[in-house]
Amino acid sequence: MTGLAQLNALPVPLAVQELGSCCGSTAWARRVASRRPFGDASELYAIADEVWWNLTPNDWLEAFRAHPRIGERVGEAPQSHEAKAWSDTEQSGVHAAPGAIRGVLAQANAEYHERFGYIFIVCATGKSGEEMLAMLRVRLGNDPDTELRVAAEEQSRITRLRLEKLLTRAVTNS
């Protein structure tokens, strides 16, 4: 792929596939792809956000399932090779954390999943294992409606970073 121009020119199924590496919601990827062509990256980001915030909670949950739990490497739903690589890089702070932190984080992840019914989703880029654990503990105190909104905000941040990577990768690999 060669940047935004080629994303605009891709056949719909390939555009949906590329966008699906950025966000695991099928509805999101299809709707964003249908809004092409994008005039510039800012327009793509604005449309991505607009589409995200107009999805249903079930669409958000689908996107969450494409992520591995913090500290793990495989999500509940299938991911593209690129999405797996991005996730691994994004979670590098937790992979570098001491074993004790990873163990406590795994227990807190299980508690979170039991409480809310989905994985703890956080934009992990640049965060240490300790920081993510602290965030998880705070968010366990949220009511379900508040937490779903917080998790959706985190997914939106992840999607934006991945869209930036997609466009950078595209330009770099041309």
- The answer to whether the CB of 111 falls within 8 A of the CB of 147 is no
The position carrying tokens 């999943």 is 113
Residues annotated catalytic, as ranges: 67
Q: Which two tokens stand for residue 109?
A: 């992840």
* Cβ-count burial 9-19 (b if 16+ within 10 Å, e if not): ebeeeebbebb
Q: Which two tokens stand for residue 124?
A: 């992990």
Nearest 10 degrees: CA dihedral of 136, 77, 32, 120? 0
- The answer to whether the CB of 120 falls within 8 A of the CB of 138 is no
